[in-house]
Amino acid sequence: TVVVVGSVNIDLVVHTPLIAPPGQTVIATGSGTGPGGKGGNQAAAVAHLGGACRLIAAVGPDFDPSTLPGVDLSLVRTTAEPTGLAVVMLDPSGENAITVVPGANALLSPEDTGSFTGPPGVLLASLEVPLPAVTEAARAAREAGWTVVLNPAPARALPASLLADVDVLVPNEHELAALGAPDDLIAAGVGAVVVTLGAAGCRIHRPGDVRTIPAHPVQAVDTTGAGDAFCGALAWALDTGRDLDTAVRFAVVAGALATRAVGARAALATAAEVTAQ
């Protein structure tokens, strides 16, 4: 089983000719809403691959469970706060400006995240929820013999106690800059650092070993959510018993396939699709 700890958001995407500068008003050309949040997206990726996935998250009364088919939602807590909201301003060049209202995500607590049970699998966590919730999840998972995968997004520095509980850290280059050098992270107890590089693939850092895995070539339409698809696929592949190199190669293909359509969950791959590439 993959247990995902992270945010659930509703994404409001506003298509605008120009991202409004402060104090100005712009008439948009259209808008749309869709399910989002790093936790929700990562859980959706695991379920799409066919994996058993349980999500630990905090949502509002407005949460629609049908947005996460195939995901065990028994540990999703409904709070009085509304579900998180991401307002995404998108201009024709693909440039964006995003404001996130945490809402219920801000209420995710160590009590929510520290009590999952079952045979050891993979914990996948990200940082759009309060750090104490993530730290407790990683501590409990490590204690119970689970593999801990942390996607440190959005970027922030992390306490040494959390780093010591992480088996695989998956930052992009921007997030890595906030964390420090891979060698220092490994010295702090991280098992391996997998740096995602967008269209350049990714780099695996392990003690005394660095290797680059090239991207899987695709005609990318929208790279939103590629990182979440990558993380979900990596966690699922590790949960099936694949070694890190094999799991990363699998995730590279899954991340590439996720860019085939507009929207974070619009082009998620099945395991058969990934394996066929």
Residues of this chain that interact with ligand ADP (CB under 6 A) are: 172, 196-199, 201-202, 215-216, 218, 220, 223, 226-227, 230, 252, 255-256, 259
29 annotated binding-site participant: no
**How far is the C-alpha of 95 from the C-alpha of 92, rounded, in Å?**
7
CA atoms 107, 108, 109, 111: torsion sign = positive
Given the complex with ligand ADP, which of 77 and 206 has the nearer CB atom?
206
Report the nearest approach of ligand ADP to the CB of residue 225 (Å): 7
Report the nearest approach of ligand ADP to the CB of residue 215 (Å): 4
Instruction: Answer yes or no: 228 catalytic.
Output: yes
196 annotated binding-site participant: yes
**How far is the C-alpha of 134 from the C-alpha of 141, rounded, in Å?**
10
Collapse the DSSP code of 234 into the 3-class scheme (helix H, G, I; strand E, B; otherwise coil) and give the result.
helix
11 annotated binding-site participant: yes
197 annotated binding-site participant: yes
39 annotated binding-site participant: yes
Given the complex with ligand ADP, which of 187 and 200 has the nearer CB atom?
200
Contact present, 31 and 15 (Cβ < 8 Å): yes
Report the nearest approach of ligand ADP to the CB of residue 245 (Å): 14
Q: Which two tokens stand for residue 276?
A: 């066929």
Given the complex with ligand ADP, which of 32 and 214 has the nearer CB atom?
214
Cβ count near 244 (within 10 Å): 18
Q: Catalytic one among 228, 239, 243, 245?
A: 228
**How far is the C-alpha of 198 from the C-alpha of 35, rounded, in Å?**
22
Given the complex with ligand ADP, which of 108 and 218 has the nearer CB atom?
218
Full DSSP string of 160-228: HHHHTT-SEE--BHHHHHHH--HHHHHHTT-SEEEEE-GGG-EEEEETTEEEEEPPPP---S--TTHHH
Report the nearest approach of ligand ADP to the CB of residue 154 (Å): 10
Q: Which residues are annotated as a binding site?
A: 9-11, 37-41, 128, 172, 196-201, 222, 224, 227-228, 258, 261, 263
Q: Which residues are catalytic?
A: 228
Q: Which residues are annotated as a binding site for K(+)?
A: 222, 224, 258, 261, 263
